[in-house]
Structure 1
Amino acid sequence: MVYKRKIKKTYLLTPLALLISGVLSPTVFADDTLLEVIEVHGHVQNKHLALGSSESLLSDLGVDFSAAGGVSNLPILNGLMGDRIKVRVDGADVTAACANHMNPPLSYISANQITAYNVVAGISPVSAGGDNIAGVISVNSISAQYNENNGLSWHSGYVSAQYNSLGNGRKLGMGARVASDTVSFNYQGAFSDAKSYDDGNGDLVFDTLYRVQNHNLTAAIRDEKQQFVLKLSHQKIPYQGFVNQYMDMTDNTSYGAIAQYKRSFENSELEAQLNWHSVKHEMGFFSAEKTGMMPMKTDAQDISSQLKWRIALDQNSSILLGQEYYHYSINDWWPAVEGSMMMGPNEYVNINNGKRERIAVFAEYESQLNKQWWLNTGVRIENISTNAGEVQGYNNGMPMMNMGTMNSMPMQPNNATAAIEFNASDRAKTDTVVDVSLLLNYQITNNDELQFGLARKNRAPNLYERYSWGVSNMATTMIGWYGDANGYIGDPNLAVETAHTFSSTYIKSAKEDDWRISANVWYTNITDYIDADIIRPFNRFGLEDTTRNVLKFTNVDATLYGVKLDLTANIYKSKQLGNWQLKAKVTNTRGNRDDTNQPLYQIKPLQTEFAINQQLGRFENTLSWQWVDTKTRIDNNRFENQTSSYSLVNLNSKASWGNLTLSAEVTNLFDEYYQLPLGGVSIAQIKQGSSNRFEQLAGQGRSFNMGVSYVF
């Protein structure tokens, strides 16, 4: 295959700039009609130093994270979390197969395995993926590379390791590739292990320990016009603590396969891909830091296919036609606990043979209209169907008493009755949705650029939002990925979320590229946003300040808007002191329910970031400062906590000697105590008896980190 690439300099790119690069990156043409392919890679230099969660890479591109386990934090874009973001790993969809979303898509790949990644917040082209209203995150590990000789021989490899003093964290990454001019084999592995961390006061943050390993094996074969790639993956998580959930992960074992075929013709390219992913997931308790006895299991599969055909209409425009199919199935059950009156004698069937199927077609037109105007527009139509089989509770008898309030012994709603009502209901739901996007880029001058975007996007409810049927306090608190200690009940009649988004970005740069500033404003109005209304309060622990709510998923209208400012500037240059660069970012997001004007849950307050980078010979040093404002806009329905403002200072240094790279880092340099505004509450702290209220999850204290990477 013939490729013509232009690798852009790494900037903190605006959403539309990333979008443009993401749209063009799959484009491959042969003969004389070659178009440039713009690929945004992350930090391609010393990239093997990045180990563990991909959060370290994606945060630089404006992704926030809702705290969960050590490798399972949920991404947030423009104030929208979880399934509202389309996350694609090597072009495949992976569904979180857990009532608490303990195994989201990004948890299945380690940072050292990622060769390219991009983020498009809000407005994305229809080809980037449907079934989302917040944007698209794409991470890729497939990067077939070949040797020049025709015999199979060594190509490249690496070994990387990192130690973090906080939590005694250890991370290891490795890779090896052999190739010829037509065949390539690549292995990448990763291992991470950490104990629970300390906060800035030196207190242990219970139940934040974890262990995980990931393995990928990729084989590729090509000729002048086509390429076939097969990737096999495996993950094993024997345990992962979830401080803000009632349960922990006690096993997550997954296997996956991706088959990818590309063929270029005279003026077009065909791309086809098949994806399979299977996971067996277990929840329970494994640590003295949060004890209990209650097993929960899920068994799920994702099977999907994508077919794309890009046709060059002329040298400056093309049309992309696509068809996609997605099938997700899950069984979620809670085995009976021997000798327990409440959790037996039956197994609790939470989701029985749950299915979610999507069939999509799309057409997307892209053109460099003239020297000043670039256009991308498209339409996507999806048919989305969901269904689930009949369920059962632990028993068919009387309702359970309210745990933690045995003195008054109030009776709870009856799960047995709820199961009967659920089984008698019409659970098969089908929705047909239409996504439309329009993106314009206007080059005012060589140094001034204006970007516009309009989009209508849709997301259908996930299976837990529709089919979580339990009504007792214990059953409802097993549902939810918000880390808020509340309980949730599903609604089979939930409607599809529909978002209408406008975004505009102005970019100004110096003639010599010494500085660059961008300002982005965006506005999103969502019809049938899936929020939750209060059904009743409960107090599982029976303490004065541990009241929570049982909530039911419901559709409301909501509005979100925000502003982002980015600055990159070269501030000093000399032979003695090297090159100095300043990076600055300011973001602010607001979100409200339209009916009550109540703030939406987990909206991050005003945040500023500044970093000074020095490059001197083989050394690169960075001093960064992050300030987060006080969080006062909270969701009262979920008892969301307010948090105080805080600032964090980090210091990083790395140096390379040929193939060897060493790094040293101090995070939270001044060991400041702070609470995470997107962290949820610490359930483990209450279970340990060290608090009589749901306190906000504390962030990590100071950590000294050492890393080494050797490429061979």
Structure 2
Amino acid sequence: MVLISPNALAEQANIIIDSDIEHLEVHGQQTTNKDVVNSADKLLSKQGVDFSQAGGVSALPILNGLMGDRIKVSIDGGDITSSCANHMNPPLSYTAANQITLTEVIAGVSPVSAGGDNIAGVINVTSLNPEFNQTEQLSWQNGNVSAGYRSASDTLLASINTQMASKNISLSYQGAYEDANSYTDGNGHKVLDTLYQAQNHALIAAWQDETQQVALKLTHQHIPFQGFANQYMDMTNNDSFGALLRYQQTLENDGLFSAQANWHSVEHEMGFFTAEKTGMMPMQTSGNDFSYQLHWQLPLSNNRTLLLGQEYYLYQLNDSWPAIEGSTMMGPNDYININDGQRKRAAVYGEWQQSFNNQWWMSAGVRYEYVSTRAGDVQAYNTMSMMGMTNVNALAANEFNQLNRQRDDQIIDATWLVKYQLNHNETIELGLARKSRAPNLYERYSWGQSTMATTMIGWYGDGNGYVGNPDLVEETAHTISVGYTLTTEDYSASATTWYSDITDYIDADVISSFTPSNNHTRNILEFNNVDAALFGARMDISYQLTEKDDGNWTITSNISATHGERNDTHTPLYQIKPLQTELAIAHQLGHWKNSLSWQWVATKERVDNNRLENVTGSYSLINFTSTIEWQNVTMTAAINNLLDHYYQLPLGGVSIANYKQDNTQGFEQMAGTGRSIDLSVSYKF
């Protein structure tokens, strides 16, 4: 028996759920490595994931109105932690589209086997999927080279995939490269500081016999620069190395055991590299992730399966800001932001899946995690008073060093999912979950109090400053989700609604303010636990027109809405997407495919006043894509924002780069990309 190679037990559990409750919680997308000159967020956007604007390859995902660390992002079953005070290197930034073979999005009520330490859901990305053949000798399997261009940002893209295989051995290499200038908006103006360059490499080797498989994946990423228009700093280097070792063995009755060990290390630097946003301050961060996962999938009968797991995660972080020679304010010492930071997680879980009959299916699970964090002593640039004013950072560092900084959290997650088949075409689904997440190191241990120090902290792109809070506790979401699906030969529709009541949601309260210039005030906020509530709904419809001589025609549409607010003040939460709808018509004639889509986003009027969030206007975009396959060549031409409409990104934050160039207009919202002609060609060999 040859082993299945997708992402071990965690992925296999999700695949089971995908087939049974697809429309309620799981949106899966298998890729064929044709969409190879793109970033991972482009693939996930098609599956209902929103993104908070950041660098060109570092956008932060948003699920059900919840962003960043509240989502568990799993890359081949391993965790990667963002090692940056601005989250410039989130997990999804470490993989390119040509490396991805499967993406799964499990929003809200995600099963405990899919991962813990999250309240928004799980994004699974699979790239470790070795292929074998039936030959005894190692031989060439397949290859693919691609190149692309985007006109709005003058971007050049290239990628390559190669594969060799035999019956027992599989070897592959995947590489991707992007080089982009700052893009232009719908008015033809350059959106400053959005340029970047990135390259990703992955080597995969695997061996298997009839009952077991061993796979090794080695990765490297190099980003020499990446602009962040909505942050005070830019990325001036990001070098990472990773290794993943996985062992799988089939057990009796089609069971599966999986053991995996992961390591990821990054050296990250921030500063300034372009005249589009200038400055002098350097920052250096190093992070290391170590983890292992042990998973068992044990079929107890034809209709019952038990999933068991034990996992351990260790994250280490050092974050310092080197002194600037000759500077009175930024010297003579290095500013130590986080020293020997550690975050440890130990977890166990059990999950039961059962089909009672042809109509009822159920999954129930419990997960326990012990999370421990700590950080060492810190120091300010100096202890001197400036112009008779108190050195608030020196006082804050002394106070921080006197604290007992060990913090422990105990997390219990529980999920229950049920599906009822009304008839051959209709299904009702219900999900209940209790999910928790412990604070990250920056939320707990960012101690600086000055305007300069606080504005270096925060991944919200809002121009404000943030102070950590060692007394934060874990946030806990109680979520209910209800879904309905209707599927016929030509027509399908699904509707999902959900509600989350979150205890100790980690928000931020204003503790002071500052005025950079021209009386345009920004706030300094401290992370704080509050209670909050979020709810929303999504509907998807697809209609297959009657097949005709001129090809197949399909019409699809969706509409989604999200609402989030604090319980104490009933004020909106930050970066909640306004009402959005999309209508598309697709045509396929043989190997020629075309798609024309219209997207409309409503005015964003509910904004977070604590963060001075901007109101944004409604807008609509028209996009056109045409793809043709001819023998081994695939060519794609797309025109995005066909009418060159100017719009502001409701989840984009403010443009600090623009503010530094011209502060008379205040902190304006980030503008979206204008008309862009995107071309790509891919050749299989």
- After TM superposition, the score normalised by the length of structure 1 is 0.93
1:385 paired residue number: 372
Worse-superposed segment, 145-154 or 225-234: 145-154
| Counterpart AA for 2:351 | E
1:473 paired residue number: 451
2:187 and 2:631 mapped to 1: Cα distance? 41
User: Is residue 668 of structure 2 the alignment partner of residue 692 of structure 1?
Assistant: no
1:466 and 1:26 mapped to 2: Cα distance? 40
1:4 and 1:94 mapped to 2: Cα distance? 24
C-alpha deviation, 1:692, in angstroms: 3.4
1:41-120 correspondence to structure 2 within 5 Å = 42-45=29-32, 47-120=33-106
Question: In structure 2, which of residues 274, 284, 294 is the aligned counterpart of residue 297 of structure 1?
Answer: 284
Contact residue 52 and residue 71 of structure 1 kept, 8 A: no
Q: Could you give the per-residue CA deviations for residues 465-523 of structure 1, whole angstroms, max 9, x where no partner exists?
A: 0000000000000000000000000000001000000000000122xx20100110100
2:592 paired residue number: 619
Contact residue 260 and residue 293 of structure 2 kept, 8 A: yes
C-alpha deviation, 1:266, in angstroms: 1.4
C-alpha deviation, 1:426, in angstroms: 1.4
| Counterpart AA for 2:615 | Q
1:173 paired residue number: 159
Question: In structure 1, which of residues 625, 635, 653 is the aligned counterpart of residue 608 of structure 2?
Answer: 635
User: Is residue 204 of structure 2 the alignment partner of residue 218 of structure 1?
Assistant: yes
Question: In structure 1, which of residues 131, 143, 149 is the aligned counterpart of residue 129 of structure 2?
Answer: 143
C-alpha deviation, 1:397, in angstroms: 1.4
2:221 and 2:71 mapped to 1: Cα distance? 23
User: Is residue 148 of structure 2 the alignment partner of residue 162 of structure 1?
Assistant: yes
Task: Describe the SS at the equivalent of 1:96.
Answer: coil
Task: Quote the RMSD (CA, aligned, Å).
Answer: 1.8
Question: In structure 2, which of residues 265, 273, 276 is the aligned counterpart of residue 286 of structure 1?
Answer: 273
C-alpha deviation, 1:48, in angstroms: 2.3
C-alpha deviation, 1:26, in angstroms: 13
1:265 and 1:19 mapped to 2: Cα distance? 14
1:502 paired residue number: 480
C-alpha deviation, 1:563, in angstroms: 0.6
2:18 and 2:4 mapped to 1: Cα distance? 10
| Counterpart AA for 1:69 | G
C-alpha deviation, 1:24, in angstroms: 5.7
C-alpha deviation, 1:572, in angstroms: 3.9
Contact residue 588 and residue 606 of structure 1 kept, 8 A: yes
2:494 and 2:633 mapped to 1: Cα distance? 36
1:2 and 1:125 mapped to 2: Cα distance? 27
Task: Describe the SS at the equivalent of 1:636.
Answer: coil
| Counterpart AA for 2:312 | Y
Q: What is the aligned residue count?
A: 675
Q: Could you give the per-residue CA deviations for residues 148-199 of structure 1, whole angstroms, max 9, x where no partner exists?
A: 1100110010001111111110111101111110000010000011000110
1:534 paired residue number: 510
| Counterpart AA for 1:309 | W
1:506 and 1:565 mapped to 2: Cα distance? 10
2:618 and 2:217 mapped to 1: Cα distance? 45
1:24 and 1:269 mapped to 2: Cα distance? 17
| Counterpart AA for 1:22 | I
Change (3 A) 1:176 1:691: farther
C-alpha deviation, 1:676, in angstroms: 0.1
1:400-415 correspondence to structure 2 within 5 Å = 411=389, 414-415=392-393
2:23 paired residue number: none
Contact residue 605 and residue 630 of structure 1 kept, 8 A: yes
Q: Could you give the per-residue CA deviations for residues 86-105 of structure 1, whole angstroms, max 9, x where no partner exists?
A: 00001100000000000000
Task: Describe the SS at the equivalent of 2:174.
Answer: strand
Contact residue 19 and residue 124 of structure 1 kept, 8 A: no
| Counterpart AA for 2:498 | W
Worse-superposed segment, 261-270 or 132-141: 261-270
1:43 and 1:306 mapped to 2: Cα distance? 24
1:314-393 correspondence to structure 2 within 5 Å = 314-393=301-380
Contact residue 52 and residue 190 of structure 1 kept, 8 A: no
1:674 paired residue number: 647
Contact residue 198 and residue 221 of structure 2 kept, 8 A: yes
Change (3 A) 1:494 1:41: closer
Task: Describe the SS at the equivalent of 1:464.
Answer: helix
C-alpha deviation, 1:43, in angstroms: 4.9
1:543 and 1:571 mapped to 2: Cα distance? 58
User: Is residue 189 of structure 2 the alignment partner of residue 203 of structure 1?
Assistant: yes
Contact residue 190 and residue 215 of structure 1 kept, 8 A: yes
1:494 and 1:435 mapped to 2: Cα distance? 19
Task: Describe the SS at the equivalent of 2:558.
Answer: strand
Q: Could you give the per-residue CA deviations for residues 401-433 of structure 1, whole angstroms, max 9, x where no partner exists?
A: 7xxxxxxxx957610000000000111001111
| Counterpart AA for 1:342 | M
| Counterpart AA for 2:575 | Q
1:606 paired residue number: 579
2:499 paired residue number: 523
Contact residue 167 and residue 198 of structure 1 kept, 8 A: yes
Question: In structure 1, which of residues 550, 554, 576 is the aligned counterpart of residue 528 of structure 2?
Answer: 554
Change (3 A) 1:669 1:240: same
| Counterpart AA for 2:263 | W
Task: Describe the SS at the equivalent of 1:495.
Answer: coil
Task: Describe the SS at the equivalent of 1:604.
Answer: coil
Contact residue 283 and residue 295 of structure 1 kept, 8 A: yes
Change (3 A) 1:413 1:80: farther
Ranges in structure 2 where 5+ consecutive residues have no aligned partner: 21-25
Task: Describe the SS at the equivalent of 2:422.
Answer: strand
Question: In structure 2, which of residues 427, 434, 437 is the aligned counterpart of residue 449 of structure 1?
Answer: 427
1:446 and 1:639 mapped to 2: Cα distance? 51
| Counterpart AA for 1:194 | A
Task: Describe the SS at the equivalent of 1:679.
Answer: coil
Contact residue 413 and residue 471 of structure 1 kept, 8 A: no
C-alpha deviation, 1:20, in angstroms: 7.2
| Counterpart AA for 1:574 | K
C-alpha deviation, 1:23, in angstroms: 4.3
C-alpha deviation, 1:321, in angstroms: 0.9
Task: Describe the SS at the equivalent of 1:574.
Answer: coil
Contact residue 295 and residue 334 of structure 1 kept, 8 A: yes
Change (3 A) 1:52 1:91: same
Change (3 A) 1:641 1:40: closer
Question: In structure 2, which of residues 411, 416, 421 is the aligned counterpart of residue 438 of structure 1?
Answer: 416
1:310 paired residue number: 297
1:489 paired residue number: 467
Task: Describe the SS at the equivalent of 2:452.
Answer: helix
C-alpha deviation, 1:269, in angstroms: 1.4
2:564 paired residue number: 591
C-alpha deviation, 1:52, in angstroms: 2.8
Q: Could you give the per-residue CA deviations for residues 363-410 of structure 1, whole angstroms, max 9, x where no partner exists?
A: 000111111011111000000000000000000111x57xxxxxxxx9
Question: In structure 2, which of residues 365, 376, 399 is the aligned counterpart of residue 421 of structure 1?
Answer: 399
Contact residue 30 and residue 103 of structure 2 kept, 8 A: no
2:680 paired residue number: 707
1:234 paired residue number: 220
User: Is residue 239 of structure 2 the alignment partner of residue 246 of structure 1?
Assistant: no
Q: Could you give the per-residue CA deviations for residues 595-636 of structure 1, whole angstroms, max 9, x where no partner exists?
A: 000000000000001110000112100001100000000000
Ranges in structure 1 where 5+ consecutive residues have no aligned partner: 7-17, 28-38, 402-409
1:130 paired residue number: 116
- After TM superposition, the score normalised by the length of structure 2 is 0.96
Change (3 A) 1:83 1:556: same
User: Is residue 257 of structure 2 the alignment partner of residue 270 of structure 1?
Assistant: yes
Question: In structure 2, which of residues 545, 548, 572 is the aligned counterpart of residue 571 of structure 1?
Answer: 545
